[in-house]
Chains A and B, each alone.
Chain A
């Protein structure tokens, strides 16, 4: 095989990937934001004392985790207009982001639910005994402790989502991968172009990983400042 370094360098330093990279990042953040809101609501419903809400969540989880996300993407873009007689005809970017958010919301529901249940029920009980309402006990006592459990897997989901956005090429959203497919379908330099596409994804995932590290450190369980300042052994 001959490596066409000119095609590679042209693609690497071409500004055609810049806007698609912004699109990829934008879709990732919006879909994850939507998924986290859905996941929070889903987690509360899953832990609700009302059985109907719990069943609703089980149905949501079962469906959205069971159907391939590519199928869901094509459904929202191509099938929904047909089903609704064109009453609902979403632009590709909107349909794609919505599909990703709804699918990811199922996973975030499980992550947030397990975070909330990881907090000792005695914490909530103590908060309630001190006169906090349910909402305040959740916001001030349970959630801050649950975040330590919720944040690491959420960071992973973020990175997974960044890569999953490449599926939106199927409905012609101008993100990184579909931009690459446009280029190699003209010059046939598949390897060189896919290498450039991969470099873009690697740079973006490295960026997200760095952000993840900072946030995880911020929400790690805390120690008293006094002990931090002391050497490992503490006596007296």
Chain B
């Protein structure tokens, strides 16, 4: 069964219609890359999945539960209580373009904050788990460093560890390497690649075509707030069915040439 079920989602910011009827389902264990030009709605769609953004129409279910909404007796969706939504979000990891590590906490404190404060894990156990996670992203020696003492790539790897500490069933990545210097992109992609191999369900908004081609199970092209192509990467990159995808890939090749 699908872990994430997105049905006919619409979303507007003021006059601007950002999502125009998106439907998409992601199975457990799948790695899905959302591609497309900026303004195509891919980041907004990602943020709707854990209800950082509200939706205007349609529905999004994660593990068969609506996130941020209740279905009323009249069949319409109503905003759910903050506490309920928060509990569901705790099981959905998110990694941000700008890392968003808590600036007043060390790497280790960043990682144990939510497990201790939200899941009520004992501090000692959370700390041990944090050390193990830092080791898996190659930062065992940075536990006591504050974010501003780390490079962008290191901060992003701590952010991945922080999300994983909640033992999420789904990981959302919002352009995780876009704010990084080119030489730091590889270390973050490597951590993500290993996470994918471990069987994590991942939805990744990215401009890293090599990552999409090598790691993703499906590549999805978004344009003008709609899904225009949804195919295995082999097919997506070699024989795209949609003209928008072909134009997008051609522009990328031009840029790289």
On whether A132 and B114 interact (CB within 8 A), knowing A222-B146, A224-B144, A224-B146, the answer reads yes
Interface of A is mostly: helix
Shortest distance from the beta carbon of B43 to any chain A beta carbon, whole Å: 12
* Docked CA distance A144–B177 (Å): 28
Which listed residue (B98, B106, B118, B145) contacts A130, Cβ 8 A?
B118
Tell me whether B19 is interfacial, beta carbon within 8 Å: no
* Docked CA distance A164–B257 (Å): 69
Q: A130-B118, A140-B117, A141-B113 are in contact. List 4 more A-B contacts (CB 8 A).
A: A126-B96, A129-B163, A130-B162, A226-B145
Shortest distance from the beta carbon of A194 to any chain B beta carbon, whole Å: 46
* Docked CA distance A132–B110 (Å): 13
Shortest distance from the beta carbon of B129 to any chain A beta carbon, whole Å: 14
Which listed residue (B52, B93, B145, B159) contacts A125, Cβ 8 A?
B52
16 contacts between A and B (CB under 8 A): A120-B100, A122-B100, A125-B52, A126-B101, A128-B86, A129-B96, A130-B113, A131-B88, A131-B90, A131-B118, A132-B114, A132-B117, A133-B86, A140-B113, A145-B104, A222-B146
Contacts of A132 in B (CB 8 A): 86, 114, 117-118
Contacts of A223 in B (CB 8 A): 146, 149
Tell me whether A227 is interfacial, beta carbon within 8 Å: yes
Contacts of B87 in A (CB 8 A): 131
Contacts of B89 in A (CB 8 A): 128-131
Shortest distance from the beta carbon of A117 to any chain B beta carbon, whole Å: 15
0/1 per residue, B81-98, Cβ < 8 Å to A?
A: 011001111111110101
* Docked CA distance A184–B103 (Å): 55
Contacts of B144 in A (CB 8 A): 224-226
On whether A129 and B50 interact (CB within 8 A), knowing A140-B117, A225-B144, the answer reads yes
- Are B98 and A122 closer than 8 Å at their CB atoms? yes
* Docked CA distance A47–B117 (Å): 25
* Docked CA distance A136–B119 (Å): 13
Contacts of B160 in A (CB 8 A): none
- Are B102 and A141 closer than 8 Å at their CB atoms? yes
* Docked CA distance A223–B149 (Å): 8
- Are A130 and B166 closer than 8 Å at their CB atoms? yes
Shortest distance from the beta carbon of A103 to any chain B beta carbon, whole Å: 32
* Docked CA distance A174–B119 (Å): 54
Contacts of B100 in A (CB 8 A): 120, 122-123, 125-126
* Docked CA distance A145–B145 (Å): 17
Tell me whether A213 is interfacial, beta carbon within 8 Å: no
Contacts of B103 in A (CB 8 A): 120, 123, 145, 221
0/1 per residue, B142-164, Cβ < 8 Å to A?
A: 00111001000000000100110
Tell me whether A134 is interfacial, beta carbon within 8 Å: yes
0/1 per residue, B107-120, Cβ < 8 Å to A?
A: 00000011001110
Contacts of B159 in A (CB 8 A): 126
Tell me whether A183 is interfacial, beta carbon within 8 Å: no
Shortest distance from the beta carbon of A143 to any chain B beta carbon, whole Å: 10
Contacts of B106 in A (CB 8 A): 224
Contacts of A127 in B (CB 8 A): 102, 114
0/1 per residue, A96-140, Cβ < 8 Å to B?
A: 000000000000000000000000101101111111111010001
Contacts of A225 in B (CB 8 A): 144
* Docked CA distance A140–B146 (Å): 16
Shortest distance from the beta carbon of A90 to any chain B beta carbon, whole Å: 40
